[in-house]
Structure 1
């Protein structure tokens, strides 16, 4: 009988304990769902210490530590999850591997990443890992390029995300200002951040104007060059379910404040903000016509993606555009910063790195595409979170934020000097001279084009006829020199693959071509034909080179008018050649109009094979060179 009583009491105790543990789990889940990760961790870990095991709890415990950049704690609980079951979502494989890397367990991290790679081949992070198996060697090769020191403005709390304006450094800080009413964020258990600033060469920190700072988070400021507008991040709350389960969801929004009549006006959210997703960490393009930012808005590939939005002349915004899969992953891309050198720096845990967030840099093409993304090396990057990188392209000085070991608080601000560029750069220089006399030609217009004939830079030759361009090692460029009364000249040059200097002197011939009405302007420049792809009428880069010469003459002679005539050889039907040449003539006219020439100065049409200059009519055997004589473009002057 005693055994039955003992068994009965045991069942009651076990049931009561089970109920008690579940009650605690429910409380922890509520904190977790409200982003109160610190409170959730305390409850979950007390339950786990009593032997309670649950895949869901281990996932949430791992995430709570991971979202607070406590990678040691995250690795511990993700490990407990994988010991129970490794048939989990891709995100847990990736976060586990990131946490292992962040705690120095590289071999185990590689094992988990290899499993991730084999199970989730369609994940872009898997593809990047597969394509960059030697990524650690690449990171090593990009390292050793910085001198770094503490910025001198840090506290024992979180300090991060800098912007330099008017010789002042602005940043976000969770430091305690001594006000007992200051609130703490349940996510991190730190004070809400406000904006602060200090002189660049000072450690005396002051709080930013109260019109911008509030009782909630403010961070990541960026000022316009005139100092009259600031964009920044602020959190807001959206109320969730009503009743006893009521909670608030934390979202981030980008705000804009303006300085008028000696004070900052109240900040307002930008038009593309939403109560359904976050927008954060604004960054301005150098021309201040584009705002870059991070968001998890619909269409985002991962936890957060990088976007851009145009800023109209009246201050309104266009439609945000995702920067694409070349830069965005299923992970987190955030904290963009764009330089005048068409580079975008950003933080990511989705590209191959050292663990946590790493800083990367990519090149922004003329079409807005992002290419050649590289990890900037282990001077800046560490196994922890490294982010909010900014740099002055001229001085090569800048700041970044990190929670790496050795700091004063959870996040700290570091300043740096980049002593060696990631890109291999050279100096391309030369002197522009008169080909006959050797005299230098000061004021000559010198233009640099890349291999795709995209204009990169234009400078006047100095008083000694010299020019200088910064160029990248190993790339091919075209240098064009122009001077009134001289024939324009383009010269290709391929830069050596090592840093240094390359000299390219250019000698210009005096313009001996005197033209009048009825003459072919193209003959002055040796233009026999405008190059098109086979059977097509779109302007190729080679054609643009020659048309630039015609354009320059038209700009110098505003009364000149041209009749543009396109001819073909006889090797197609008569009608086909007529139509093709006509399309090409019109395409040439459209190119000139698109580059500023008034359409009333241009006429033209195609003549097909009607005006052959040699014997090569239908059925007559001819060489390729003879056929090419008939494929020509004429620019007949009709008025001066």
Structure 2
């Protein structure tokens, strides 16, 4: 079962039975055991050893790539899938996953190419048509983002899951995975079960001081949350995983499962305690039901469920308040809202319903949509576009306030650049008073000629994608920046080694335009050489430092995007020290760099490590010649030479 159907979705699947190890299993068998037990990080470590050979099994690379996919390391997953789909025996699933990880990395044009390749190879399908339409839309949305600004709420987010904000009169409620495990641990996530948290809220929507609520509704054995309240905050509607033993039974691929479905619980405040009651239409032995939302007048209760009679997997349903205070029978919200896919996490703002779906054209995973209307009469369904939506799962939209100047609120997302799994983001939409524009050019580093149609990506300081465009026919590109925000801009094109630049945050007093030039290194001809700038090693060491790994990752992308490229990666020292010592040190450094590239998915037969010591100085600084620190540094370099292209 995928992640949407674990703790952000509508069921928790517990596997009965397990795998039994043989005595002294082989490396591959141990890797397979770990993979089947969902221990993807441990499995990846073993598969990395299996694929570092002259003759590599495609199936081993596929398991490694899939491990990185489940671990949400989409950059590494892309590296490996790019290599896999160049083999003769890759699986149908791998080609689809390659397109998916390209989409997760915001490479929608490239993803569309792979979806098209999938259709040519395996035939058209509804999901492929939907994915291609979503990729087309996402390209436009990323080139023309809305004015929303997102902020990761780092005071409440952890490296675990946090999602589903509901604003209250003096703070918020949300669901989160505790850092400490008391009692049982979730077999699917390996973490503590979800609990309902409260947090303080500042005027601009910022969250702080998260606290696990001690009330009785948090005492269930399995997952609890998310939760919402009525207007007077004396009634709570809490989603939880049914903790009993009389669960839905399921059998698939010879394995027996127990589906612990979701149920909706209602808690009414009586004195200082909460009285629990069942929502009348729970049926944990047949389906899940949860993710409640109330209309503004409190007379319509929306929720998500995979109960029979829907349009697809999980649908949005509603019940109406009856004269006796009970809730009426479930009604489907209709085809304007629901699809053949999954619809979840409804919320109501005025006369608009916000919810998440993977059944309509979108950017990837769950996208947030809105439509006007009520009950089963809705019109004008629209995708909220980028940056509200991303290549990941985006859900649990909540608006805190709206006025003539804009709006602020919250959403949840597992997009790249976050603190952990699912993160809580606050958003703001304001009409800008001062505009900061970044204008740039993409040029050939050697000839200074224009390079049109280069892919240019703008990242925030935490490597979250802010926007992606193509340089135009004049090799120009343009982004709008926020004040006091650091950025990095990256230019890429096949046949070139990428270039990047850092943009320091500014706070100007008037409209400002910044300029940057990205100079991409051509790698068309055998014998071409270029220096990998800013690769440094600690004194007398050859291990790859974090700052060097970032530069080498750029070389990995160049190798990945140019699959016929073979290179010599050479290390050079200055003249200080003996010739023999410098040659050995430089060889170890070159080999470390090559080993790093191999660990990131580049085949070893495309790489040659060579240490030249002090034999190829670029200036006069031979033995016995006095030189400055800067002159010696010029000789301590790492070079790449094209051997084949």
Residue 44 to residue 298, structure 1, CA distance change in 2 (3 Å): farther
Q: Which runs of 5+ in 2 are unaligned?
A: 1-21, 433-645
**Aligned-residue offset at 1:328:** 3.6
Once residues 311 and 201 of structure 2 are traced to their aligned partners in structure 1, the CA distance between those partners, rounded to angstroms, is 38
> Which of 337, 353, 362 is the aligned partner of 2:362?
353
**Aligned-residue offset at 1:225:** 1.0
1:438 match: none
Q: Secondary structure at the residue paired with 1:347?
A: strand
**Aligned-residue offset at 1:399:** 1.0
Q: Report if the CA contact (8 A) 2:333-2:375 is conserved.
A: no
Q: Which runs of 5+ in 1 are unaligned?
A: 1-14, 32-36, 422-640
**Aligned-residue offset at 1:24:** 6.8
Once residues 355 and 209 of structure 2 are traced to their aligned partners in structure 1, the CA distance between those partners, rounded to angstroms, is 28
Once residues 309 and 361 of structure 2 are traced to their aligned partners in structure 1, the CA distance between those partners, rounded to angstroms, is 23
Residue 347 to residue 245, structure 1, CA distance change in 2 (3 Å): closer
**Aligned-residue offset at 1:101:** 1.2
2:189 match: 188
Q: Secondary structure at the residue paired with 1:377?
A: coil
**Aligned-residue offset at 1:390:** 0.5
1:617 match: none
Q: Secondary structure at the residue paired with 2:269?
A: strand
Q: Report if the CA contact (8 A) 2:290-2:305 is conserved.
A: yes
**Aligned-residue offset at 1:171:** 0.7
Once residues 85 and 310 of structure 1 are traced to their aligned partners in structure 2, the CA distance between those partners, rounded to angstroms, is 55
Residue 40 to residue 147, structure 1, CA distance change in 2 (3 Å): closer
> Which of 300, 309, 312 is the aligned partner of 1:290?
300
State the Cα deviation string for residues 587-632 of structure 1 (Å, max 9, x = none): xxxxxxxxxxxxxxxxxxxxxxxxxxxxxxxxxxxxxxxxxxxxxx
Once residues 292 and 58 of structure 2 are traced to their aligned partners in structure 1, the CA distance between those partners, rounded to angstroms, is 40
Kindly report which structure 2 residues correspond to 1:338-377, keeping only aligned pairs within 5 A, or say none. Answer: 338-340=348-350, 342-364=351-373, 368-377=376-385
2:201 match: 200
**Aligned-residue offset at 1:190:** 2.5
Q: Secondary structure at the residue paired with 1:212?
A: helix
2:457 match: none
Kindly report which structure 2 residues correspond to 1:526-541, keeping only aligned pairs within 5 A, or say none. Answer: none
Verify: 1:390 aligned to 2:390, yes or no: no
Q: Report if the CA contact (8 A) 2:356-2:395 is conserved.
A: yes
Verify: 1:171 aligned to 2:174, yes or no: yes
2:163 match: 160
> Which of 201, 214, 218 is the aligned partner of 1:213?
218
Q: Report if the CA contact (8 A) 1:141-1:377 is conserved.
A: no
Verify: 1:279 aligned to 2:281, yes or no: no
Q: Secondary structure at the residue paired with 2:218?
A: coil
Once residues 124 and 350 of structure 1 are traced to their aligned partners in structure 2, the CA distance between those partners, rounded to angstroms, is 9
1:234 match: 240
**Aligned-residue offset at 1:231:** 1.2
> Which of 396, 410, 413 is the aligned partner of 1:402?
413
Q: Report if the CA contact (8 A) 1:121-1:127 is conserved.
A: no
Q: Secondary structure at the residue paired with 2:174?
A: strand
TM-score by length of 2: 0.52
Kindly report which structure 2 residues correspond to 1:11-22, keeping only aligned pairs within 5 A, or say none. Answer: none
Residue 123 to residue 414, structure 1, CA distance change in 2 (3 Å): same
> Which of 94, 99, 102 is the aligned partner of 1:100?
102
Once residues 30 and 57 of structure 2 are traced to their aligned partners in structure 1, the CA distance between those partners, rounded to angstroms, is 15
**Aligned-residue offset at 1:158:** 2.0
Q: Secondary structure at the residue paired with 1:170?
A: strand
Residue 71 to residue 186, structure 1, CA distance change in 2 (3 Å): farther
**Paired positions, count:** 392
**Aligned-residue offset at 1:213:** 0.7
Residue 217 to residue 73, structure 1, CA distance change in 2 (3 Å): farther
Q: Report if the CA contact (8 A) 2:248-2:260 is conserved.
A: no
TM-score by length of 1: 0.52
My pick for the range that moved more, 304-313 or 218-227, is 304-313
Verify: 1:337 aligned to 2:347, yes or no: yes
Once residues 239 and 413 of structure 1 are traced to their aligned partners in structure 2, the CA distance between those partners, rounded to angstroms, is 32
1:50 match: 50
**Aligned-residue offset at 1:387:** 1.9
Once residues 84 and 288 of structure 1 are traced to their aligned partners in structure 2, the CA distance between those partners, rounded to angstroms, is 59
1:448 match: none
**Aligned-residue offset at 1:291:** 2.4
Once residues 356 and 61 of structure 2 are traced to their aligned partners in structure 1, the CA distance between those partners, rounded to angstroms, is 27
Q: Secondary structure at the residue paired with 2:216?
A: coil
Q: Report if the CA contact (8 A) 1:295-1:306 is conserved.
A: yes
State the Cα deviation string for residues 31-86 of structure 1 (Å, max 9, x = none): 4xxxxx3x36644874685369687x988877776566554466567668755667
Q: Secondary structure at the residue paired with 1:392?
A: strand
Once residues 297 and 144 of structure 1 are traced to their aligned partners in structure 2, the CA distance between those partners, rounded to angstroms, is 38
Kindly report which structure 2 residues correspond to 1:445-456, keeping only aligned pairs within 5 A, or say none. Answer: none
Verify: 1:110 aligned to 2:107, yes or no: no
The structure with the larger Rg is 1
Q: Report if the CA contact (8 A) 2:282-2:288 is conserved.
A: no
Q: Report if the CA contact (8 A) 1:124-1:330 is conserved.
A: no
Q: Secondary structure at the residue paired with 2:284?
A: coil
Q: Secondary structure at the residue paired with 2:418?
A: coil
Once residues 342 and 362 of structure 2 are traced to their aligned partners in structure 1, the CA distance between those partners, rounded to angstroms, is 13
Task: Select the structure with the greater relative contact order (CA < 8 A; seq sep ≥ 6).
Answer: 2
Q: Report if the CA contact (8 A) 1:144-1:377 is conserved.
A: no
Q: Report if the CA contact (8 A) 1:158-1:409 is conserved.
A: yes
Residue 420 to residue 288, structure 1, CA distance change in 2 (3 Å): farther
Q: Report the aligned-residue RMSD.
A: 4.1
Once residues 284 and 200 of structure 1 are traced to their aligned partners in structure 2, the CA distance between those partners, rounded to angstroms, is 21
Residue 218 to residue 331, structure 1, CA distance change in 2 (3 Å): same
Q: Secondary structure at the residue paired with 1:374?
A: strand
State the Cα deviation string for residues 225-261 of structure 1 (Å, max 9, x = none): 121221122123637589x977543432222222112
Q: Comparing both structures, which one devotes a greater share of its residues to strand?
A: 2
Q: Report if the CA contact (8 A) 2:41-2:71 is conserved.
A: no
Q: Report if the CA contact (8 A) 1:151-1:415 is conserved.
A: no
Residue 239 to residue 319, structure 1, CA distance change in 2 (3 Å): closer
**Aligned-residue offset at 1:132:** 8.2
1:222 match: 228
Residue 226 to residue 69, structure 1, CA distance change in 2 (3 Å): farther
> Which of 227, 251, 263 is the aligned partner of 2:261?
251
My pick for the range that moved more, 58-67 or 268-277, is 58-67
State the Cα deviation string for residues 516-560 of structure 1 (Å, max 9, x = none): xxxxxxxxxxxxxxxxxxxxxxxxxxxxxxxxxxxxxxxxxxxxx
Once residues 114 and 302 of structure 1 are traced to their aligned partners in structure 2, the CA distance between those partners, rounded to angstroms, is 25
> Which of 296, 305, 310 is the aligned partner of 2:320?
310
**Aligned-residue offset at 1:264:** 1.0
Q: Report if the CA contact (8 A) 1:139-1:376 is conserved.
A: no
